[in-house]
Amino acid sequence: MSQDREFLTLLDAASQGRMSRRDVLKRAMAVGLSVPAISALLAACGSSDDSTATTGSSSSGGAATSASGGASTAASGGAATATAGGATTGAASPVPEKGVKGGTINAVIIGEPPTLDIHWTTATIVGFVTWNMYEPLFAWDANYKLIPMLAESHEVSTDQLTHTIRLRQHVPFHNGDEMKSADVLASLQRWATKQGLGKALFEASEKVTAVDDYTIEFKMKNPYGVFESTLGYYYQGPAIYPKSVVDAAGDGQIKEFIGTGPYKFVERQPDRFIKFERFEDYAALPGEPNGYGGHKYAYADQLIFTPVSDEAARIAGLRSGDYHFLESISSDQFDTLKDDAVATAEVLPPGGWDTFVLNWKSPLMSNQKIRQAFQMALNHEPIMLAAWGEGYYRLDPSIMQKETIWYSTAGKEHYSPNDPDGAKKLLDEAGYDGTAIRFMTTKEYLNQYNNAVVCKQQLEAAGFKVDLQVYDWATVVDRRSKPDMWDTFTTGISFRPEPTQLAIMQLCNWPGWWCSESSQEILDGLRSESDFDKRFKLMEQLQTNFYEEVPMIKIGDTKDIVARSQKLQGLSQQQQLGPQLWNAWLEK
Amino acid sequence: MTAYILRRLVLLLPVLLIVGVVVFILVHLTPGDPAAVMLGPEASNEQVQQLRDQLGLNDPFYIQFVDWVGGAIHLDFGNSIFLNMPVTTALWQRAQPTGLLTLYALIVSLLIGVPAGVIAAVRRNSWIDRALMALSVSGAAMPSFYLAILLILLFAVTLHWLPSGGYVSITDNPVQHFKRMLMPAFSLGFANAALLARLIRSSMLDVLREDYIRTAYSKGLAQRRVITLHALRNALIPAITVVGSSLGALLGGAVITETVFTLPGMGQLVVQSVLRRDFPVIQGAVMVIAAIYVLANLLVDVLYIYIDPRVRYGNK
């Protein structure tokens, strides 16, 4: 009986985070609890790790985490810490390996990455390749919440102004040096000179210091709700490099590619291959893999990325057994590959959405009524069908995808209204004089071109005149930065687990120039607020604005199709930010 | 002879200058911003401008041109924006795959084209002649990328005899090198072989009607000897011009072949650099290709002298 009572007391303490894993374990052993009972208690400890003293106290006014992605656990000002170890696992040691060690995974990329310096570019291909060798302080877990990666814990002071990040100890870089706070500080400072979110973070801080070898402290001017998610930014993310590498780079790109990740860089021959090999001294987190964080197995001895620009050549290479993974293929190829003897193809959950961006600085589109007429004229189903084909898209109004905790249908009445008569009426009210919309698109991404062709027909049916201008992608990217050259263009918005990180949230600083005071105000709130419920409400307001102010049209979510060799196993379906090759293996 | 060659080499300079000016202007008039391509689709305008400043892309047009010409005179074409290495290094790395591919394709076209042309001419109007010429017409008509895809489907995907693409240097692993170059060389060389066969056939037919051939036969020489020693040597003269100029066609065709077979050659570099708007690489590569073209023509003219002693240059 007393054991049962002790068990319940401990369970309560563990689940509320009032005791550390070590204390729970000690007490449980002292009272002679059984092994299954102890396991249950440890699981209830969740993310608490014995190397961190908990700040646990359920009284109000204690320190709180600012885990913006996973803020549901960090509400109410109660004390909590986010700690390393895999939030959903709670296991202290790695589970037995399921995969097969050895071999070389040959992955195909659609072009040569512009650089292997991830601080440098937003190009997704760079993230795909380089996150095998670099690591961030915080990573996105299987549910797109943030968990510590190189950080061990993150604490926020009661006044929300001091963020203390404790680093994991004994984490080696590929050059053998241990990762310390000087490396982290140098990397973050450099990253902030290249990346807008990083720049904003440093501008919002009063002082950033390395308190000791394993502690970094940010003193903020004001509460900063997106602190962790900024440090977990993925595509142009704050990878931690050794300070020596940062110093040697000066203003330019880094000259040596060194990180703390499960694979280390071996060789790059531009347009031929990029080769990595397993880093044998990798300091893996205990527990199981958890999204982009948690334990990383690094089953394959080597990873080789080969740029192949021609899709037919990519498919042929996969079917002949030369390649093991193709990052993305067109839906036309799906049926051929799904029945192939060597290869297979999978349709993944949506990884982004298609859009028509409207130019707020053009004489035509600066008129809100004309933008609303544009929105009202469209029926999204045929547009997506032409672009992607049946089964490869999802019609959904939420600008944050269903797979995230930010899903909302706010403003859905303006999504795909299919009301050409209403659009005509709005055009009359706006005094539309029949000037043709300069509509830029590209055949380099055929889906964008197909989107545009169907959209043009629908707009014309509602009384618009449309001048469809087809360019190569580089030209579209160049022209879209010049406000006087276009009215609308096609593009895709890539997946982000945090709303403030969507490309469109650069508002007035991104082509289209969504310069709305009201939206800016909501966005500022979203950035400073830490409480998830409050942030969610702000996010819904922003989405309502999105549909009323019409900076762009969200057409629909797009599903990625990846193709792989049947030998390649263990690849997670969670690939919105990129595939996690470090946990995949080759069957013999 | 030496004076002639030197004069031709000196004439190379104005040709390259004109090519350089035209390419520089074209490249800079084409819309597209290398900085924007490099920073990715979601970069802010501020980031793009920062990189443009760093790369010198915001300098006035004439300053960029003078800088480039100044470097090009010393064979320094600047740094690749995208590859972060000197253009000359990038070109040199790509020279081996393209050079060898062109060479192998040339060998394939000679090995197939010359015997086919000779046999067709000697067996004129026979079924062999008709079959060879039918093959030749279809060979010339078939785009090399189509042949390439058919070859890949058969030999890589179905039979698994050859790899579908990629490049291995001849010094690293000669066996793998030839396995990987076989299909590209064949698909690139085949169309050229077809053209060559038709040309050799018609020029052989002309030569075979000449008096000295009749004389050779009447001397009692064997047919094999007459054809290889007497007829073919003369029939080759027009073919050499075609071989010389087909070098340009092969280099052009290499662009597509390299893309389909994933060979990291100059052709692919040029195409990728255009898409990335990597101005220095486009300029450097076009200059080098122009120089190769001019030098190949010079080589053809010099070869004439050895094959046809009646040809003399520069003797006044």
Radius of gyration of chain B (CA): 24
Please state, in angstroms and rounded to a whole number, the distance separating the CA atoms of residues A128 and B80. Answer: 23
List of chain A residues whose C-beta atoms are within 8 Å of the C-beta of residue B261: 313
List of chain B residues whose C-beta atoms are within 8 Å of the C-beta of residue A354: none
Q: Is A321 on the interface with B (CB under 8 A)?
A: yes
- Of A233-237, A282-286, A487-491, B310-314, the one with minimum mean pLDDT is B310-314
| Cα separations in angstroms, A389 against A359, A381, A397, A452, B32 | 28, 10, 19, 15, 30
- Exposure class string for A508-525: b at 16+ Cβ within 10 A, else e: eebbbbbebeebeebbeb
The residue-averaged pLDDT of A351-363 equals: 95
**Residue A551 near residue A358 (C-beta atoms within 8 A):** yes
- Which residue of chain B has the CA closest to A313? B260
Q: Is A317 on the interface with B (CB under 8 A)?
A: yes
- Which residue of chain B has the CA closest to A475? B32
Residue A27: pLDDT above 80? no
Q: Which uninterrupted H or E stretch holds A139?
A: strand A138-140
Q: Is B96 on the interface with A (CB under 8 A)?
A: no
Q: Is B64 on the interface with A (CB under 8 A)?
A: no
- Exposure class string for A468-502: b at 16+ Cβ within 10 A, else e: ebbbbbbbbbbbbbeeebbbbbbbbbbbbbbbbbb
Q: Which of residues 189-208 of B touch A (CB under 8 A)?
A: none
Closest by Cβ to B40, choosing from A123, A306, A509 = A123
Choose, out of A108, A271, A306, A323, the residue to mutate when testing the contact with B (most B CBs < 10 Å): A271
List of chain A residues whose C-beta atoms are within 8 Å of the C-beta of residue B157: 316, 319-320
List of chain B residues whose C-beta atoms are within 8 Å of the C-beta of residue A477: 32-33, 36-37, 41
Read off the pLDDT of residues A513-532 as tens digits, 9 standing for 90 and up: 999 999 999 999 999 998 99
Is the model more confident about A39 or about A583? A583
Bridge pairing between strands A465-471 and A393-394: unpaired
Select from A232, A234, A231, A207 the least CA-distant residue to A221: A207
List of chain A residues whose C-beta atoms are within 8 Å of the C-beta of residue B275: 111, 444, 472-474
Closest by Cβ to A316, choosing from B85, B93, B152 = B152
Please state, in angstroms and rounded to a whole number, the distance separating the CA atoms of residues B213 and B230. Answer: 7
Residue A17: pLDDT above 60? no
Residue A364: pLDDT above 60? yes
Please state, in angstroms and rounded to a whole number, the distance separating the CA atoms of residues A137 and A184. Answer: 9
Instruction: Give B260 to chain A, closest Cα distance, Å.
Output: 6
Residue A497: pLDDT above 70? yes
- CA A296 to chain CA centroid, Å, is 18
Neighbours of A43 (CB within 10 A): 15
- Which residue of chain B has the CA closest to A192? B47
What one-letter code names the amino acid at A411?
G
Q: Which of residues 346-375 of A touch B (CB under 8 A)?
A: none
Q: Which of residues 255-314 of B touch A (CB under 8 A)?
A: 259-262, 264, 268-269, 271-272, 275-277
Q: Do A121 and B40 touch (CB under 8 A)?
A: yes
Average pLDDT of chain A, as a whole number: 85
The residue-averaged pLDDT of A474-495 equals: 91
Q: Is A203 on the interface with B (CB under 8 A)?
A: no
Residue A467: pLDDT above 70? yes
Handedness of CA A395, A398, A399, A403 (dihedral sign): negative
**Residue A325 near residue A105 (C-beta atoms within 8 A):** yes
Read off the pLDDT of residues B167-215 as tens digits, 9 standing for 90 and up: 999 999 999 999 999 999 999 998 889 888 999 999 999 988 889 888 9
Select from A535, A537, A530 the least CA-distant residue to A64: A530
Instruction: Give A134 to chain B, closest Cα distance, Å.
Output: 19
Residue A70: pLDDT above 70? no
Instruction: Give B36 to chain A, closest Cα distance, Å.
Output: 7
Length, in residues, of chain B: 316
List of chain B residues whose C-beta atoms are within 8 Å of the C-beta of residue A196: 44, 46-47
- Which residue of chain B has the CA closest to A471? B31
The residue-averaged pLDDT of A257-280 equals: 95
Residue A80: pLDDT above 50? no
pLDDT score recorded for residue B313:
65
Q: Do A474 and B260 touch (CB under 8 A)?
A: no
Q: Which uninterrupted H or E stretch holds A488?
A: strand A488-494
pLDDT score recorded for residue B314:
57
- Of A159-168, A362-371, B197-206, B224-233, the one with minimum mean pLDDT is B224-233
Select from A551, A445, A549 the least CA-distant residue to A492: A445
Read off the pLDDT of residues A106-154 as tens digits, 9 standing for 90 and up: 999 988 898 999 999 888 899 999 999 999 999 999 989 999 999 999 9
Q: Which residue has the tokens 């859009």?
A: A355
Please state, in angstroms and rounded to a whole number, the distance separating the CA atoms of residues A52 and A83. Answer: 8
Residue A35: pLDDT above 50? no
The residue-averaged pLDDT of A491-498 equals: 92
**Residue A550 near residue A358 (C-beta atoms within 8 A):** yes
How big is the A-B interface in CB pairs under 8 Å?
146
List of chain A residues whose C-beta atoms are within 8 Å of the C-beta of residue B82: 112, 114
Model-level pTM? Answer: 0.81
Please list the ranges in chain B whose pLDDT falls under 70.
312-316
Closest by Cβ to A312, choosing from B46, B149, B264 = B149
Please state, in angstroms and rounded to a whole number, the distance separating the CA atoms of residues A527 and A555. Answer: 26
Bridge pairing between strands A205-212 and A273-278: unpaired
Select from A34, A39, A152 the least CA-distant residue to A92: A39
Q: A198 falls in which pLDDT band (50, 70, 90)?
A: very high
| Cα separations in angstroms, A341 against A319, A566, A567, B158 | 8, 8, 11, 11
pLDDT score recorded for residue A499:
94
Q: Which uninterrupted H or E stretch holds A553?
A: strand A552-565
Measured in degrees and rounded to the nearest 5, phi and psi for residue A60 equal -75, 155
**In a 3-state reduction of DSSP, which class is residue A307?**
strand
Neighbours of A118 (CB within 10 A): 30
Q: Do A474 and B33 touch (CB under 8 A)?
A: yes
